[in-house]
Amino acid sequence: MTTEIESILVENRVFPPPEDLVKQANVSGMEGYQALCDEARRDPDAFWARLANENLVWTKPFTQVLDESSKPFYKFYPDGQMNVSANCLDKHLGTPTENRTALIFEADDGKVTKVTYKELLARVSQFANALKAQGFKTGERAVIYLPMSIEAVVAMQACARLGIIHSVVFGGFSAKSIHERTVDVGATLIITADAQIRGGKTIALKSAVDEALAMGGCDAVRKVITYKRAGSDVQWDAKRDLWWHDVIQGQSTDCPPVAVDADHPLFILYTSGSTGKPKGVQHSSAGFLLWSLMTMKWTFDAKPTDVFWCTADVGWVTGHSYVTYGPLAAGVTQIVFEGVPTYPDAGRFWKMIQEHKVTIFYTAPTAIRSLTKASEADAKVHPKSFDLSSLRIIGSVGEPINPEAWVWYYNNVGNQRCPVIDTWWQTETGAHMITPLPGVTPLKPGSCTLPLPGIDAAIVDETGEEVERGKGGFLVIRRPWPSMIRTIWGDPERFKKTYFPEELKGYYLAGDGAQRDKDGYFWIMGRIDDVLNVSGHRLGTMEVESALVAHDMVAEAAVVGRPDDTTGEAVVAFVVLNGPLPQGDDAAAVAKQLRDWVAKEIGPIAKPREIRFGENLPKTRSGKIMRRLLRVVAKGEPITQDVSTLENPGILDQLSQVR
Ligand code: WTA
C-alpha cells in the first residue's frame, strides 16, 4: 500500500443549504446535525439502539446492541428478531400510506403502471406463498436475474418475507457471470424473465440462465421461475422451469412474514475486488434496513408525500438500498424505470421528472455527463425545456462527480434551488456514509462533504495514523456501523484480509484514497486497489484480465483504466498473443474478437474500449507487470518516469503505437 496520493482538485465555491430546507428538513441546520453526531460519539450503542427501536418494527426486541466478540465479524442487535418485508410493507397497513402509490412503473415504451402499498403487499405475499408451495425455505439462496420491473421488487421482497437470501445478478451480465454466482452462492432457485426491453431492443434473459445452468455444477438449482415480459420464445425444461403467472395461480395474497435474527443474511451481492473472482458481499437484515431507512430520512429528507426516483438498476447495491428497501420502508412513492436515459431521446429523464412530479432525483455522474453533451447538441432534450419545478433534492452516486458536472446539474436540473447531494458509499457499506444533508451542509462541488452521524470516517496512513488535513491517505471507518458488510460469502479470510488489514488497527478499509480539507470535508480521489470505475460500475482489472487470458489466442494481458469524459474511466487492455504481433486490419479484427469475448465472459460493460498488442508487457526484473507505466501509455502521454528497473524497457515503444 502506498500513501503517495496527491489531491489534484482545487474547488473553492461554497453553496449554502436553501433556507426553506434548513427550516423544514428532517435534520435541521448544522446544530441538528451536530447534536446527532454528539449523541453517537457519546454513547454509540445507545445511539444505534435508539434508532433501531424508533425506526424498525421488532418481532422480538433486542437486549444487546453490538456484539464484538468475534470482530471483525460484528453483529448488531444479535438477539433481536424482525422481518424486512414487514418493515417495508405491513407496517404501513392502517396508516394513510397503505392506499398511496408505492411504485410507478414506467416501461421502456412509456406505458405506466401504478401499485399502491396495499396492492404491493398482496403481490409480494402471493409470490412468497408460491415460493413456499414450491418448497423453498428460510436460509436457501435465490439468484434473481430480472429487468427493472415491479416483479423485480416483488421477487426481492418475497424472498425477504421468507428469509430466503437473494443474490441479484445485473441483467447486463453474461451467462458466465450468472454461472459463477449461482455456483458460489449455492442457489436452489433462479428467478428470471424471458427477456428485457431497453432502448427499444429486446434482450433475452432466460436463455442466458439456460446457458449458465448447462455449464454444470449448478445441480442445487431445483426451479427456474420465469416472468413473461416480452413474449419471446424460450426453451423449456418441464422438470425445472415454471412460469411466474402459473406459480402464483390460486395462491393466497396473505403470507405471514417469517421473523429472522437481526443478522440473518438479507442478500449477497457480488462486487469486484483486486482478484479475478468477485466477492459475495453478505448483508444483514435489521442493520442493513435501518441504515437504508435512516439515510432516506436524513440524506434525502424523505417524507411520505415525496415522489422519489433512484435511477439505479436492482442489479447494483444502489438498487437494493434505494429502490427495493429504503424507499418502501420510508413510505414514499417511487419510480421504477425499465428503459435507458437516451430513449426515445436524451430528454427521457427530464420528461419523466416533469410527468410524475418527481421531488427527489438520484442518479450517477456518468448519466449527467452524457446528458450534458446531448443537451448541448439539441435544445429539445435540454432540462431547461422541461418543467422540473417539482424537484427539491438532486443526488449523485457511484463515482466522484467532477465540479463541472456538479455545477451543470445544479444549474440546469436543480435550477439553482436544489442541493446536489453527492453520496459516498459502497456495496460493502450498505448505505450512505459520507454525504451532505440537504438542510444542513454547505456544499462544495466535487466533495461528498461530511460523514453521517455515527459514521467515524478518517484518512490514515499505512500504519493507521490519521494524516494531517490536506494530505492524501486511505479512507477508513474506525467504528462498526449497523449496515456494514458481515462477511464475504464462503470466504471469511478474504473478508478479514481485504477490509480489516492488521496494520490499520482494526479499522474498516474502504479501498478509496481521499483527503480532507481545512473544513474537514472529504474529497474522494479514487481507488487504491486494482478496481476500475466505469460509468459508476465497479470492475476489477483482474476480472477483465482473467477473461482475456481465458481466450485461446491470448498469452498474457494487463488491464488499466484511462480517464474518460463520459464514463469516468475506460478499460484499456494490453495483450500479448500466442502468435505473431498482428498488424493493420488483422489487429483490428482480433481486437474486435477479444472485445466481444469479454462481453460474453463478463458483460458488455467490461468490454475494453481499446486493445493494444505487444510482444511482451513491461515488467520488473522480478516479473511484476508495471501497471503504473501502462496507465501512462493508455493516456497517450510520454513516459517521464525512470524505466531502468524494467526488464524490457523497449516494449513501451511498441505498446505506445496504436495499431
Ligand atoms: C466510488 C456504489 C466518489 C468509490 C454505491 C467507492 C464514489 C465505489 C462515490 C463503490 C462518490 C461511489 N464520490 N466516489 N459519491 N460513490 N464512489 O460498490 O470508489 O458499486 O469505493 O457502490 O464507487 O462502488 P459500489
Q: What is the grid cell recorded at 443?
A: 456544499
User: Cβ of 42: how many Cβ atoms within 10 Å?
Assistant: 9
Determine the residue type at 323.
V
Cα of 527 from ligand 1 centre, angstroms: 9
- Please report the pLDDT score of residue 8 as a whole number: 46
CA-to-CA distance for 349 and 371, rounded, in angstroms? 9
Which percentage of the chain shows pLDDT scores above 70?
98
pLDDT bin (cut points 50, 70, 90) of residue 4 is very low
More confident residue, 349 or 272: 349
- Whether the CB of 397 sits within 6 Å of ligand 1: yes
- Whether the CB of 108 sits within 6 Å of ligand 1: no
- Whether the CB of 171 sits within 6 Å of ligand 1: no
pLDDT bin (cut points 50, 70, 90) of residue 622 is confident
- Whether the CB of 272 sits within 6 Å of ligand 1: no
Mean pLDDT computed over every residue of the chain: 95
Does pLDDT of 527 surpass 90?
no
Closest ligand 1 atom to the C-alpha of 426?
Answer: 22
Average pLDDT score over residue span 409-416? 98
User: Cβ of 118: how many Cβ atoms within 10 Å?
Assistant: 17
Does pLDDT of 475 surpass 50?
yes
Min mean pLDDT across 141-150, 229-238, 617-626 is at 617-626
More confident residue, 342 or 273: 342
DSSP 3-state percent helix, strand, coil across the chain (nearest 5)? 35, 25, 45
Average pLDDT score over residue span 565-569? 92
Cα of 275 from ligand 1 centre, angstroms: 18
CA-to-CA distance for 291 and 333, rounded, in angstroms? 19
- Whether the CB of 402 sits within 6 Å of ligand 1: no
Closest ligand 1 atom to the C-alpha of 524?
Answer: 3
DSSP H helical ranges for 285-363: 286-298, 317-319, 326-330, 348-356
CB contact burial 412-425 (16+ within 10 A = b; e otherwise): bbbeeebbbbbbbb
Orientation angle between helical segments 584-601 and 175-185, nearest 10 degrees: 40
User: Cβ of 510: how many Cβ atoms within 10 Å?
Assistant: 23
List C-alpha distances in Å: 9 to 280, 368, 407, 472, 507: 33, 19, 15, 12, 27
- Please report the pLDDT score of residue 646 as a whole number: 81
Residue 173, classed as helix, strand or coil, is coil
Cis peptide leading into 344, omega within 30 of 0? Answer: yes
Q: What is the pLDDT of residues 303-338, one digit of tens each?
A: 999 999 999 999 999 999 999 999 999 999 999 999
- Please report the pLDDT score of residue 13 as a whole number: 87
Under 8 Å between Cβ of 399 and 260 = no
Pocket test residue of 288, 426, 428 for ligand 1, highest count of atoms within 8 A of CB: 426
Residue 146, classed as helix, strand or coil, is coil
- Please report the pLDDT score of residue 7 as a whole number: 46
Under 8 Å between Cβ of 320 and 483 = no
- Whether the CB of 634 sits within 6 Å of ligand 1: no
CA-to-CA distance for 17 and 499, rounded, in angstroms? 34
pLDDT bin (cut points 50, 70, 90) of residue 231 is very high
Binding residues: 198-201, 318, 398-400, 422-427, 512, 527, 535, 538, 549, 551, 554
Atom 4 (ligand 1) nearest CA? 399
Closest CA to 394 of 428, 359, 370, 366: 359
Does pLDDT of 11 surpass 80?
no
Q: What is the grid cell recorded at 191?
A: 428467478
pLDDT bin (cut points 50, 70, 90) of residue 10 is low
- Please report the pLDDT score of residue 1 as a whole number: 37
Average pLDDT score over residue span 224-235? 98
CA-to-CA distance for 397 and 409, rounded, in angstroms? 13
Cα of 573 from ligand 1 centre, angstroms: 23
Listed in order, strand segments (DSSP E) in 165-288 are 165-168, 189-193, 195-198, 201-204, 223-227, 241-243, 260-261, 267-271, 279-283
CA-to-CA distance for 123 and 240, rounded, in angstroms? 23
CA-to-CA distance for 270 and 615, rounded, in angstroms? 34
Under 8 Å between Cβ of 164 and 210 = no
CA-to-CA distance for 68 and 57, rounded, in angstroms? 24
- Please report the pLDDT score of residue 6 as a whole number: 47
pLDDT bin (cut points 50, 70, 90) of residue 5 is very low
Average pLDDT score over residue span 535-550? 90
Q: What is the pLDDT of residues 172-223, one digit of tens each?
A: 999 999 999 999 999 999 999 999 999 999 999 999 999 999 999 999 999 9
Residue 381 φ/ψ region, left for φ over 0, alpha for ψ in the -120 to 50 degree band, beta for the rest = alpha
- Whether the CB of 425 sits within 6 Å of ligand 1: yes
CA-to-CA distance for 393 and 493, rounded, in angstroms? 41
- Please report the pLDDT score of residue 650 as a whole number: 84
CA-to-CA distance for 393 and 324, rounded, in angstroms? 20
- Whether the CB of 538 sits within 6 Å of ligand 1: yes
The size of the chain, in residues, is 659
pLDDT bin (cut points 50, 70, 90) of residue 580 is very high
- Please report the pLDDT score of residue 154 as a whole number: 99
CA-to-CA distance for 628 and 641, rounded, in angstroms? 10
Does pLDDT of 3 surpass 50?
no
Closest CA to 337 of 18, 568, 106: 106
Cα of 432 from ligand 1 centre, angstroms: 10
- Whether the CB of 424 sits within 6 Å of ligand 1: yes
Does pLDDT of 452 surpass 70?
yes
Average pLDDT score over residue span 570-597? 94
Atom 6 (ligand 1) nearest CA? 426
pTM: 0.93
- Specify the DSSP class assigned to residue 77: S
- Whether the CB of 532 sits within 6 Å of ligand 1: no
DSSP H helical ranges for 434-521: 492-499
- Specify the DSSP class assigned to residue 17: P
CA angle (509, 513, 514) in 5-degree steps: 110
Closest CA to 143 of 232, 258, 265, 269: 269
